[in-house]
Structure 1
Amino acid sequence: PGGALQTGFKYAISKNYDFIVRIDGDGQHDPRYIKNLLLPVIKGEVDMTIGSRFLGETRYKIPVFRKIGMSIFAWITSKILKQKITDTTSGFRAFNKKIACFFVNSYYPSDYPDADVLINLHLTGFRIKEIPVTMYGGNKTIHSGIMPLYYIFKMCLSILATLLRRI
C-alpha cells in the first residue's frame, strides 16, 4: 500500500493539487463523507483528517483479536500525540499539499503506513484530527490470516524506530 500511496502523492504534487483524499479500494469507505474529511483541511484547521469508524455510533464489526490490537495501537498513538486517536488503521483520510510533499520527500513505509506515520507526522509538527464516518466491513483485508502477527511485530518496530530517529 505505501508504494501506491507514494505514487498517488507524487501525481497530486505534479498536478499542483492543494488537497488529496485517500480512499481504500476495498469498498468499506462511504464517499459521502469526503466533504466532511476535506472541510477542516481546506479551512486550514488541520493538515490531515482521519475518517474514524469508532467515533459516534458504529455498527462496524471487527474480530475480537483485531479489535484488541487496534485498541492498543490507538492507545499508544494517543499517548504520543497527546490527543485521542481512535482509528490508526483507517485508510480514509484527507491531506493538504504540505503532507503530500512530506510523504514523497521523507521516509514513508512501503507496507502498512498506519500508527507509525501518524506519530511521525505529529513529531514533525503536522496537525491531525479524526472525523466520524460510517464504514462497511466484511471484506478480506491485509489483516487476515497470519498477517496480524507480522503487522503487530512490524508496527511495534516501526513506532520504536520513528521515536528513536527523533532522539
Structure 2
Amino acid sequence: MANLYLDDSKHHSFGFSLAAFVMCDADPTEDIGLIFRRSGFDPNTFEFKSSARMKDDINLQKLRSALKTYIGTRCKIAVCVVDGDKRLGPGALKLLNSALAHPYLAGHQHQVFFGEGLFPSTEAAENLVQDTEKFKSCEFHFEQDSRRVLGIQLADIVSVVGFWGQMAA
C-alpha cells in the first residue's frame, strides 16, 4: 500500500498551475515530524510552505533541504501541468488514473490525500472518482489541511517550479 499526497502551485502570470503527487510506501508523518524538530520547528504548530521567504532564515533553509532529501530518497513523484487553475483537481485525478497502472502502484490499496481548494467541494470530488474502476483501490481524503496531514507539505515542495533545478544541484 502506498500513501499518496497531492498539493499544487499556481503560476497565474504564466497561465498554468502544477499539481504534484508524492508517493510514500508508508505514512511519512513520524519521519517528517522528526525532520521538523531537528531543524528547530514544532510539527504541531509550524507549516512549511515553499513560497515562504527563506533567504535569511538558516533553519528554514535547513528544513527545506532535509525535506527535499527525504523526497529524493524515500518517495516517488508524479506531476501534471494544467492551463490556469480551474482544472487542477480533475487534472490530478487524470494523473492518478495513469499512475495507478504503474507496477509500483497497480494491484495495491492506497490512501490518497488531496490538499485544500482543488475541487469546488468534497462532494464534487467524490462524484468524479466514484465511477472509475482504478479508483476502487483508493481511499480518498479530499480537502485535507496540510498542517494536519504532513505528507501534503512534501507535495507542496514538489509542486514548486524551482524544486526541479534545486534537486539537480
Common fold: TM-score over 0.5: no
Q: TM-score range by the shorter chain?
A: under 0.3
TM superposition score normalised by structure 1: 0.27
Higher helix share: 1
Q: When you count strand as a share of all residues, which structure comes out higher? A: 2
TM-score (norm 2): 0.26
